């Protein structure tokens, strides 16, 4: 069943199977999805085509998810970033980031697809709500 | 020595002057007498005129000889004249009496025959010496007519009468010898008394001291002879003995009652009182009691030493008594305890008396069976090493096992034989528990580290599987059967997700509790286990009362049921029975749901029952992780519930869980 494209999402995970399957699920749900497999490609992709939402793994070779998220927060303050991770060290990385003033929301892998879809929907609702408010103001 | 008492120096000088004059007069008279004797002997004198106050008296030689003869017969010594060959020419009656031999037998016999046989030669030598003109005196033994040997003093001298002849004077020493012996024995007794360390007093029948030794004089500082005993030695009976504080009286001893080892104090005006050990006994003669002998030993020093020892012992004992550890001394020969400090009550829950009465055998029997061989080996080794420390478990008074640390050393005799084991025992249960907890937390930490290293590897594939199962199940082209299989896969994936998250606990749970129907959770698990249950012919009966729902993480509740059912299945033999019940209960703090899972399995040993909820405790050897029931308990408690277990070895085990019924759940 064809659906109207709701929003553009960038999926970043160093495991292509995760990035690709999640991208398929999100496309089936009606989003425009692009998948990349590392932090550098993510930054390049966002610079070229800024998405509405970035779903990003934390522990990756090269520049990690939290670093990318921080850079994005400076360059694209309105861009939503949802982190997800399966690694125990993630919590410590987040705590450190939080101590420096950068708080991020994170989901624990594995995230069941229905839960992921619900989360994305609510996040995007927030943006459209705040954009709508901004428009009104 | 007592001398005349002079009132003044002048009196003394006058006395000396008088004595000097008397001496000069006596010397003059002696000189005159010697002149006369010399004249008589020289034959120059026929008669001597002696001037006396009652008129002059004329002594002729004839008259003199008569006088001498009378004198010789009257004298108390035996006397005899001897011819040149030693034949007795004349002897007086006294000599005959002393020897008990008739005069006529003595006269005309050789004088040497009078001497005892062994002294004959010696006596003849004396005779020869006397004949040569040298007077000689000697003590010798003569033989009497009735064959007695009597000591005599013999004096021999040449009579110088022109022809060789000897005069002999014999003094019987029998009596004086006896006296000497008496004196000697008296001296001996005195010296014995004086050398005695004890003070000794001899009293007569009226209680007057008639003899006292040096020790007694030293004790009281004066010679008490001729004083009454009670005035010279005021003695007070020891306060600890019967009649303490009263004065001692010798009346009892005088009545014949012997006082033995009575402790008394000598009351002195100056200085410290002296403690004495008194013995008194009567002197009995044929006429009855004639006095008593009192012996006193000065025990002041000994008492002081004893007191000091008592004080130091009391000090040590108070240290021992106040010790937190309990201290003991065990006799290795008898196997009994000689001393056990009071703190044994705190450590072992027994009184010192209880432990003293039972001995080491019984205390060894209280050692934990697993530790007993180690304890026995340690005790055996102590004899060689002399000292050592061991930690072991002991069943104390209330039946609990406590961890004790026993630090002991061996006392040996001079031959190296072990006599005593002295030791102090400390309750180290808390330390051990803390150590065990530390060990456990270290175990947990290492598991955590392990989990963290593999988490990424597990969670990422799970993410992929979750995604592809979702894609497959949402594929429009699949059959309804495949769809139902994939739904099961989704459910099981959910369970895996929760198990890993709960067990490894390394992520914050982002989901929230929802109302859960326990019947659905139970049925889901039973359905999952059905193939295994059927293969072992184990019947699972379910009895559900109409209970409400609880606020919970559904997958966790499934994990609880799964863990308990899995354990029951492992414990239950073929054709066994498992029952799962749900019931509503009312408590003080609101309505609750009781979930019970009971089996007819092998049961859990009472020793192990308390530990089943501890992490890493397992009875399944290689197959168990030791985490199942621990996780179960964590989950139950996280839901505000409680879990209990009761079991009977060989009969089965019952786990019961009580969950609160949440208000939110009730409302729905």
Closest-CA residue of B relative to A107 is B510
In the predicted model, is pLDDT for residue B667 greater than 50? Answer: no
Q: Residue B295 CB: number of other CB atoms within 10 A?
A: 20
- The partner residue sitting opposite A21, judged by closest CB among B452, B456, B468, is B468
Mean pLDDT confidence for B333-340: 88
Which residues of A have a CB under 8 Å from any CB of B? 15, 17-18, 21-22, 24-25, 28, 59, 86-91, 107-115
pLDDT at B19: 87
pLDDT at B668: 45
A3 in a domain, yes or no?
no
CB contacts of B464 in chain A (<8 Å) are 15, 17-18, 21
pLDDT at A52: 92
In the predicted model, is pLDDT for residue B7 greater than 80? Answer: no
CB contacts of A90 in chain B (<8 Å) are 507
Minimal CA separation from B408 to chain A, in Å: 50
The DSSP bridge pattern shows strands B78-82 and B57-60 to be: unpaired
| Interchain CB distance below 8 Å, B506 and A91 | yes
> For helices B480-504 and B554-571, what crossing angle results, to 10°?
90
| Interchain CB distance below 8 Å, A18 and B463 | yes
A44 in a domain, yes or no?
yes
A1 in a domain, yes or no?
no
A49 in a domain, yes or no?
yes
User: What is the complex's ipTM, to 2 decimals?
Assistant: 0.87
Rg (CA), chain B: 60
CA distance B597 to B557: 14
| Residues shown for chain B | 668
pTM of full prediction above 0.80: no
Q: How many domains does chain A have?
A: 1
Mean pLDDT confidence for B367-390: 90
Minimal CA separation from B516 to chain A, in Å: 18
A38 in a domain, yes or no?
yes
| Residue B158: CA count within 13 A, CB half-sphere | 13
In the predicted model, is pLDDT for residue B189 greater than 90? Answer: no
Closest-CA residue of B relative to A21 is B467
Return the percentage of chain B with pLDDT > 70, whole number: 85
| Buried residues in B413-441 as b, exposed as e (16+ CB within 10 A) | eeeeeeebbbbbbbbebeebeeeeeeeee
| Interchain CB distance below 8 Å, B501 and A113 | no
pLDDT at B511: 45
CB contacts < 8 A, A to B, total 76
Query: Is the CB of residue B141 less than 8 Å from the CB of residue B135?
Result: no
CA distance B381 to B359: 20
- B500-528 pLDDT, tens digit per residue, is 765 554 333 334 577 888 998 898 888 87
| Interchain CB distance below 8 Å, A91 and B462 | no
| Interchain CB distance below 8 Å, A113 and B460 | no
In the predicted model, is pLDDT for residue B343 greater than 60? Answer: yes
- Residue A122 belongs to domain spanning: 8-136
Most confident of the ranges A35-44, B416-425, B492-501: A35-44
A120 in a domain, yes or no?
yes
| Interchain CB distance below 8 Å, A88 and B452 | yes
In the predicted model, is pLDDT for residue B118 greater than 70? Answer: yes
CB contacts of A115 in chain B (<8 Å) are 511
pLDDT at B599: 94
């Amino acid at each position: 069943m064809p659906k109207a494209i709701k929003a553009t999402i960038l999926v970043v995970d160093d495991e292509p199977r995760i990035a690709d399957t999640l991208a398929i699920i999100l496309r089936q749900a009606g989003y425009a999805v692009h998948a990349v497999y590392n932090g550098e490609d993510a930054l390049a992709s966002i610079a070229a085509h800024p998405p509405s939402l970035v779903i990003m793994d934390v522990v990756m070779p090269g520049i990690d998810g939290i670093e990318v998220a921080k850079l994005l927060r400076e360059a694209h303050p309105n861009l939503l970033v949802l982190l997800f991770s399966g690694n125990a060290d993630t919590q410590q990385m987040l705590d450190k980031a939080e101590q420096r003033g950068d708080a991020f929301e994170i989901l624990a892998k594995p995230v069941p697809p229905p839960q992921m879809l619900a989360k994305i929907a609510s996040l995007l609702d927030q943006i459209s709500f705040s954009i709508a408010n901004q428009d009104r103001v | 020595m007592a001398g005349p008492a002079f009132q003044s120096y002048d009196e003394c000088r006058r006395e000396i002057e008088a004595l000097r004059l008397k001496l000069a007069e006596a010397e003059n008279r002696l000189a005159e007498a010697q002149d006369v004797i010399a004249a008589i002997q020289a034959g120059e004198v026929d008669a001597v005129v002696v001037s006396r106050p009652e008129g002059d008296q004329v002594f002729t030689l004839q008259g003199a000889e008569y006088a001498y003869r009378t004198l010789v017969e009257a004298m108390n010594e035996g006397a005899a004249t001897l011819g040149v060959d030693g034949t007795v020419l004349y002897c007086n009656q006294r000599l005959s009496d002393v020897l008990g031999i008739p005069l006529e037998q003595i006269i005309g016999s050789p004088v040497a025959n009078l001497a005892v046989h062994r002294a004959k030669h010696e006596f003849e030598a004396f005779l020869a010496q006397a004949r040569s003109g040298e007077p000689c005196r000697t003590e010798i033994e003569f033989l009497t007519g009735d064959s007695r040997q009597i000591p005599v003093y013999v004096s021999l001298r040449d009579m110088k009468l022109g022809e060789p002849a000897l005069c002999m004077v014999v003094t019987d020493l029998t009596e004086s010898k006896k006296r000497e012996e008496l004196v000697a024995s008296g001296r001996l007794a005195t010296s014995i008394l004086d050398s005695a360390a004890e003070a000794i007093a001899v009293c007569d029948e009226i209680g007057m001291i008639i003899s006292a030794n040096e020790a007694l004089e030293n004790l009281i500082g004066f010679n008490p002879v001729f004083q009454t005993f009670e005035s010279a030695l005021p003695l007070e009976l020891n306060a600890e003995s019967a009649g303490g504080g009263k004065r001692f009286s010798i009346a009892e001893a005088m009545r014949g009652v012997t006082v033995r080892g009575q402790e008394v104090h000598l009351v002195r005006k100056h200085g410290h009182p002296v403690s004495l050990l008194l013995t008194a006994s009567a002197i009995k003669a044929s006429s009855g009691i004639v006095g008593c002998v009192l012996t006193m030993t000065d025990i002041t020093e000994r008492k002081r030493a004893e007191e000091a020892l008592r004080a130091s012992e009391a000090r040590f004992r108070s240290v021992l008594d106040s010790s937190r550890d309990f201290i003991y001394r065990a006799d290795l020969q008898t196997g009994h305890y000689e001393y056990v400090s009071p703190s044994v009550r705190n450590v072992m829950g027994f009184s010192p008396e209880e432990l003293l009465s039972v001995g080491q055998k019984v205390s060894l029997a209280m050692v934990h069976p697993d530790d007993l061989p180690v304890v026995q080996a340690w005790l055996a080794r102590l004899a060689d090493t002399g000292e050592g420390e061991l930690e072991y478990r002991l069943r104390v008074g209330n039946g609990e096992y406590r961890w004790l640390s026993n630090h002991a050393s061996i006392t040996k005799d001079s031959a190296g034989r072990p006599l005593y084991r002295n030791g102090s025992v400390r309750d180290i249960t808390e330390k051990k528990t803390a150590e065990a907890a530390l060990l456990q937390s270290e175990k947990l930490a290492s598991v955590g580290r392990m989990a963290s290293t593999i988490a990424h590897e597990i969670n990422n594939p799970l993410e992929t599987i979750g995604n592809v199962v979702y894609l497959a199940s949402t594929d429009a082209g699949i059959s309804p059967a495949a769809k139902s299989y994939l739904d099961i896969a989704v459910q099981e994936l959910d369970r895996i997700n929760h198990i890993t998250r709960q067990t490894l606990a390394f992520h914050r749970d982002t989901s929230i509790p929802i109302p859960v129907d326990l019947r659905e959770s139970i049925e889901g698990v039973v359905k999952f286990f059905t193939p295994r249950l059927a293969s072992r012919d184990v019947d699972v009966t379910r009895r559900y009362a109409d209970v409400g729902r609880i606020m919970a993480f559904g997958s966790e509740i499934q994990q609880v049921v799964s863990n308990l059912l899995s354990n029951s299945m492992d414990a239950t033999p073929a054709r066994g029975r498992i029952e799962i019940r749900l019931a509503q209960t009312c408590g003080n703090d609101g309505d609750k749901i009781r979930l019970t899972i009971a089996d007819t399995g092998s049961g859990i040993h009472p020793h192990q029952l308390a530990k089943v909820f501890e992490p890493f405790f397992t009875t399944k050897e290689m197959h168990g992780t030791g985490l199942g029931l621990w996780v179960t308990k964590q989950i139950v408690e996280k839901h505000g519930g409680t879990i209990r277990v009761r079991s009977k070895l060989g009969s089965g085990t019952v786990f019961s869980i009580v969950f609160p019924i949440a208000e939110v759940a009730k409302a729905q």
